Amino acid sequence: MERAAWTTAVKVGGMREVEPGATGAAGGGWLGPCGAQARVEKGVRRGSVKASAAHRRAALADRLATAGIWALSILALSTVALVIGAVLWKGLGTALSPAFVFGKPQAMREGGGVWPMVVSSFHLSLLTLALVVPLGVGAAVYMSEFAGVGRLARLVRFGADSLSAVPSVVFGIFGMVVFVVYLGLGYSLLAGALTLALLNLPTVMRSAEESIKAVPRSYLEAALATGCTKWEAVKRVVLPVAVPGIATGAILTAGRIVGESAAVIYTVGLFVRRVPWSPFRPAAPMAANIWHMYTEGALVPDWFRVASGEAALLLLIVLTLNLVARTTAKAVRKRMGYRD
């Protein structure tokens, strides 16, 4: 096969188009320095290295592939831009008005705000993070530093992977059955946070595990070589170095929690008028409220305005969270002295 390709290349005219002057210079070196130099200079003036036909075809294919990849990425980018643009087009005006963001919701009347929903979303995501981050990071530390390749570790990893494939609505139903009804928490932020903690545990765990594994092994070895225990080494060296990664994962998780609707609908609530400061109270995170407005919006005359305003607000919050995640991780790494 290789040989065939080689033959083709030659047949197609794959021989390099060598300038006669250049060959002369190479072959005539024995003539002495003067003659050789003169000929080389002549060769140099004749022009640059020419591409063979095979190379020309390769160059063409290269250009085509580059253009194709470009077109595909533009397509992907433009769909994202389209979605963001559409949401902002419909809702940005509403979302940016303080009366809407900090206003009280209205039923049967126009001009309501969404302050309780905004608080619900933030409250819910903070509560969930408080539950899921310690659990996820703990599991990740165990998995990456202490579990080794044993059966338990494999089982945990398999469980986590299976959990992350379960749709969130299933978690919602589970949360409703277990936390809302069986444990008697009722529709509440706590029931929702517990459900969302379960939902996000696999991703938090995996991202924390990846950040911990990305810490160079040499740090752990260096720490151990000064005579500290494994836990001291992990606590004082490995974890601090992994913190930017873990924090990034946590902030991205916060974004996912804010955007989650299915699991929330069954456990937290759809509409509230009072600002839910207590975790035991029902609440209405924005994503769930948007769904509620669209499906049962008849009670609110300007439901479309409220829903699109909320959607735009939600989008801005998630985008900000992602931006914050990136910049903080970068800043922390820079302070540690890494030169990326």
d(CA 102, CA 97): 9
Is 221 a binding residue for another protein by CB under 8 A? The answer is yes
What backbone phi and psi angles, to 5 degrees, belong to 150?
-70, 180
Is 219 a binding residue for another protein by CB under 8 A? The answer is yes
DSSP assignment of 66-101:
HHHHHHHHHHHHHHHHHHHHHHHHHHHHHHT-HHHH
34 or 149: whose CB is closer to another protein? 149
DSSP state of 180: I
The set of residues, in sequence order, having a beta carbon less than 8 Å from that of 328 and lying 6+ positions away, is: 244, 247, 248, 251
Span near another protein by CB under 8 A; candidates 10-18, 185-193, 231-239, 313-321: 231-239
Is 229 a binding residue for another protein by CB under 8 A? The answer is yes
190 or 239: whose CB is closer to another protein? 239
Q: What is each CA distance from 277 to 185, 205, 208, in whole angstroms?
A: 16, 28, 30
**Burial state string for 188-217 with b = 16 or more CB within 10 A and e = fewer than 16:** bbbbbbbbbbbbbbbbbbbbbbebbeebee
Q: How far is the CB of 163 from another protein (least distance, A)?
A: 27
Is 77 a binding residue for another protein by CB under 8 A? The answer is no
6 or 338: whose CB is closer to another protein? 338
48 or 218: whose CB is closer to another protein? 218
Span near another protein by CB under 8 A; candidates 40-48, 68-76, 237-245, 263-271: 237-245
Give the residue among 90, 83, 84, 92 at the shortest CA–CA distance from 313. Answer: 92
List the structure tokens of 184: 């008697």
Given candidates 241, 264, 283, 287, which one binds another protein under the rule CB under 8 A?
Answer: 241
Given candidates 34, 218, 298, 340, which one binds another protein under the rule CB under 8 A?
Answer: 218
List the structure tokens of 3: 């040989």
What backbone phi and psi angles, to 5 degrees, belong to 215?
-70, 125
d(CA 51, CA 28): 25
Please answer whether residues 143 and 164 qualify as being in contact, where contact means their C-beta atoms are separated by less than 8 angstroms.
Answer: no
50 or 154: whose CB is closer to another protein? 154
Is 149 a binding residue for another protein by CB under 8 A? The answer is yes
Is 40 a binding residue for another protein by CB under 8 A? The answer is no
Q: How far is the CB of 245 from another protein (least distance, A)?
A: 13
Is 151 a binding residue for another protein by CB under 8 A? The answer is no
Is 216 a binding residue for another protein by CB under 8 A? The answer is yes
Given candidates 64, 83, 181, 225, which one binds another protein under the rule CB under 8 A?
Answer: 225
Given candidates 32, 33, 184, 337, which one binds another protein under the rule CB under 8 A?
Answer: 337
Given candidates 160, 237, 293, 306, which one binds another protein under the rule CB under 8 A?
Answer: 237
d(CA 172, CA 169): 5
Residue ranges binding another protein (CB under 8 A): 148-149, 216, 218-219, 221-229, 232, 236-237, 240-241, 335-339
